[in-house]
């Protein structure tokens, strides 16, 4: 049932973008946020509940840089909705730096063979603690990525609430 809800959310976010883009371009930000939210949930479902080696190899680290875009997309949607217009400035590109760094650091894993990815995910299923020791990024480990994500989201939320009121 949980997977069904996530897939339905993914479908609804795509329909939201397709049918509302001509009326309000800001729905692209909301649709992107909801799509990433649903993909994040599907990835966790596949890795923790179903433990499918094939889908786990596709979803486990490959989409991680996209997940860091959920905060900026939600910020852009809220900011533009409050301003009642579509705004995207050059300085808004700074919000994408963490995702770009994560993408660059994950290039060795992303360009590895599918068999290697299946081996990694099957090892993860056999030993849960392997997730903490596996180095999927060249620049930083799992703990550092968690702290960067938390700090960047905290700075984003503080900025959003400070400018909204």
Where b means 16+ CB within 10 Å and e means fewer, 43-66 reads: bebbbeeeeebebbbbbbbeebbb
| Mean of pLDDT over the chain | 84
CA distance 99 to 139: 13
Lowest mean pLDDT among 9-18, 39-48, 130-139: 130-139
Whether residue 163 has pLDDT greater than 70: no
Q: For the ranges 59-73, 88-102, 150-164, which has the lowest average pLDDT?
A: 150-164
Per-residue pLDDT reduced to its tens digit, 85-119 = 888 889 989 889 888 988 998 899 899 999 999 99
**Rounded CA gap, 132 and 22, in Å?**
45
Q: Quote the Cα angle for 111-117-118, to 5°.
A: 150
- For residue 120, pLDDT beyond 70: yes
Specify burial of residue 163 (Cβ count, 10 A radius: 0-12, 13-18, 19+): exposed
pTM here is 0.80
Q: Give the model's pLDDT for residue 165.
A: 40
């Amino acid at each position: 049932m949980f997977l069904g809800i996530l897939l339905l959310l993914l479908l609804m976010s795509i329909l939201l973008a397709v049918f509302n883009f001509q009326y309000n371009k800001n729905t692209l930000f909301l649709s992107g946020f909801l799509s990433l939210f649903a993909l994040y949930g599907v990835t966790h479902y596949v890795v923790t509940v179903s433990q499918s080696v094939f889908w786990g190899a596709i979803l486990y680290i490959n989409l991680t840089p996209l997940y860091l875009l959920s905060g900026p997309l939600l910020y852009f949607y809220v900011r533009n909705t409050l301003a009642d217009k579509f705004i995207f400035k050059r300085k808004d590109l700074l919000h994408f730096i963490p995702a770009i760094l994560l993408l660059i650091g994950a290039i060795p894993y992303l360009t590895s063979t599918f068999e290697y990815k299946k081996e990694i995910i099957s090892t993860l299923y056999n030993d849960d603690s392997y997730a903490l020791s596996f180095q999927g990024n060249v620049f930083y480990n799992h703990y550092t990525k968690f702290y960067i994500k938390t700090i960047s989201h905290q700075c984003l939320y503080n900025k959003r609430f400070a400018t909204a009121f």
